[in-house]
Structure 1
Amino acid sequence: MGEGKTSVIVPMLALSLCSSSSSLVRIIVLKSLFPTNYQSVRYKLGGLLNRRVLSFSCRRDMNFSESQANQIFNRLQYGLSQRDVVLTSPEDILSFDLLTIDKCRRNEFDVGRSMLSTQRWIKTYVRDILDESDEILHVKYQLIYSIGGQKQVDGGLERWRTIQSVLNLVKKHATSIATDFSDDISYKVSERKSSFPEFRLLNHRPFPELCKRIAKDWLNQKTFRQLDEELILQFILDTSVPIACLKDRFPYNIIQLFLIMRGLLSSEVLFVTLKKRYRVNFGVNPNPKFNRLMAVPFRAKDVAAENTEFGHPDVGLVLTQISYYYSGLSDLQLRQCFDRLSQNENDPEVIYN
């Protein structure tokens, strides 16, 4: 940071690579830094050297027609001949790739064929310069387009309830784990007994012990035979134990619970979520235009990543519940809950009396 890579080295490298008309230079920058980098590159290459800087953006709501897709292709070819420079972000590149697949899935083959031709041409003639390459090449940079009708996650309501049970057990063991691993956990006791404590793992060391305590307590809440409990415990805490050992002993819906617990504990979904900082790495987007009640990734303190959600459903569910444990419900959300209850209950006296 601050050593001139973006402001000095990137423009020099782009100018060197685009000196020949055999390759089109594409500078890939982080989405959050795009406006700043665009102004910088445009000033240095456009203002001083009269090189045209093209910005390439793509989103799912851009419904390209065949003529528009051809215009993009022709403009890139013209940019190659004029030695222009393209500035884009990883999200825009991935979005264009996914839009191509989506067009073919919708049987819009003419548009899809044109976009696919553009992709093939880009792979042949474009040379990429990655600014902040450690961030851009990080595994977290993924883009997922949901398709088809909306469905419940596998397990339905039981997945939500199981996650709530696990978080309740995290709350139960938070104090003892924080005492045993004081250097590896950020912990603050909640002011009210009913509140969820500020509990965050700083590294992996305390997580195996936390998993063992959660798994044992969760099994104690169930009514399995003692002989089966040992097998279930091994299955939940060890990903190498095959599922075949459970198929003849338990029905499918019970095995689903074991798989949910296994994902949270031994597959370390819970570890990933408990490492994140509330309102810094995740939270509920307060923007009313977003129209989502699920937790989303945050780019910085109280700055939600726009049009972004967690790719793993269990991560999203866990962080959503933690978000509301910390923030509580607003007056509007509370009224919505009561309205929903009143709509679904035809005879409240039968339930509450």
Structure 2
Amino acid sequence: MSQTNRILSLMPGKALAAEMLHALAKTCSGLVSRPVYFLPVSRHTNMDQEMASQMQDLFRKCQDDGGVLLILPEHLNSFRLLGVDKLAGKDDDRATSRVLLETRKWLDRNARDILDESDALLKPNFELIYTSGDATLLAGAPDRWNLTMQFLTIVQRNAQYL
């Protein structure tokens, strides 16, 4: 039974990323001939189906070459959420979403994560909040809050009689 290569995925904290990339390029690429891949991703990345396929091919090449993938936790979360974001879009976006979600599942099966500074990365208060769309005021703002406060003031004043 043959065993497939796994992608070695290193996740440093944001502050250590540049130094880690430099150290990996120096040691892994030079000493053990393992290529180092660094692919920053943001939810603002203008992702189309062709780019999603290129990323998928790059991850497979990393696996085939026995490479090391350096990725920040926020880049990984952004990559995972890109596929979900594209689901609600146009037909082209849905095709892109399929490639991204397929790649995400493939990564889950074929990558092994090593967390650097895991005590910092796994702290409960280290949470990334990702919103969708532009910030907009809620309907009726700010009057809805003033109305609610006035109502609660009336209830407080009359609670003993109710």
Q: TM-score range by the shorter chain?
A: 0.7 to 0.9
* Aligned residue number for residue 144 of structure 1: 130
State the match for 1:26 in structure 2: 9
Amino acid at match of 1:46: S
1:61-106 Cα offsets, whole Å, 9 max, x none, are 2111111111111111111111000001110011111111111111
- Aligned amino acid, residue 147 of structure 1: G
In 1, Cα distance between equivalents of 2:142 and 2:114: 44
Question: Does structure 1 residue 37 correspond to structure 2 residue 20?
Answer: yes
Structure 1 position 113, deviation (Å):
0.3
Counterpart of 2:113 in structure 1 is 128
CA-CA distance at 1:150 after TM superposition? 1.6
Q: In the alignment, which residue of structure 1 is the partner of 2:157?
A: 225
Deviation at 1:153, TM superposition (A): 8.2
Count of paired positions: 152
Paired residue secondary structure (1:38): helix
Residue ranges of structure 1 left out of the alignment (5+ in a row): 1-19, 161-218, 229-248, 250-353
Cα shift at 1:147: 2.3
Deviation at 1:155, TM superposition (A): 6.2
TM-score (norm 2): 0.81
2:47 maps to: 64
Match of 1:74 among 39, 42, 57: 57
One-letter code aligned to 2:82: L
Note the alpha carbon deviations across 1:135-173, whole angstroms, 9 max, x for none: 21223322312226622389636769xxxxxxxxxxxxx
SS in 2 for 1:34: helix
Q: Which has the larger radius of gyration?
A: 1
Show the counterpart of 2:83. Answer: 100
2:74 aligned to 82, 86, 91, which one?
A: 91
CA contact (8 A) 1:27 1:131 kept: yes
Q: Please report how far the alpha carbon of residue 122 of structure 1 lies from its aligned counterpart in structure 2 after TM superposition.
A: 0.4
Compare 25-34 and 151-160 and name the one that shifted more: 151-160
Alpha-carbon distance change, 91 to 159 in structure 1, aligned in 2, over 3 angstroms: farther
Pick which of 132-141 and 93-102 moved more: 132-141
Letter of the structure 2 residue corresponding to residue 121 of structure 1: W
Please give the alpha-carbon distance, in whole angstroms, between the structure 2 residues aligned to 1:29 and 1:159: 43
Between the aligned partners of 1:146 and 1:93, the Cα distance in structure 2 is 17
Q: CA RMSD in A?
A: 2.8
The answer to whether residue 34 in structure 2 is matched with residue 51 in structure 1 is yes
- Aligned-partner SS, 2:8: strand
Q: Which runs of 4+ in 1 moved over 6 A?
A: none
Higher relative contact order (CA 8 A, sep 6+): 2
Check conservation: 1:100, 1:116, Cα contact below 8 A: yes
Report the alpha carbon displacement of residue 47 of structure 1 after superposing the two structures with TM. 2.2
Contact 1:64–1:111, Cα closer than 8 Å, also in 2: yes
Unaligned runs of 5+ in 2: 147-151
TM-score computed with the length of structure 1 as normaliser: 0.39
Alignment-mate amino acid for residue 142 of structure 1? L
2:149 aligns with: none
Cross-structure match for 1:290:
none
For 1:130 and 1:94, locate their aligned partners in 2 and report how far apart those are by CA, in whole Å: 14
Q: Deviations over 1:207-255 (max 9, x none)?
A: xxxxxxxxxxxx9xx5633754xxxxxxxxxxxxxxxxxxxx7xxxxxx
The 5 A counterparts of 1:195-206 are: none
Q: Percent identity between the aligned chains?
A: 24
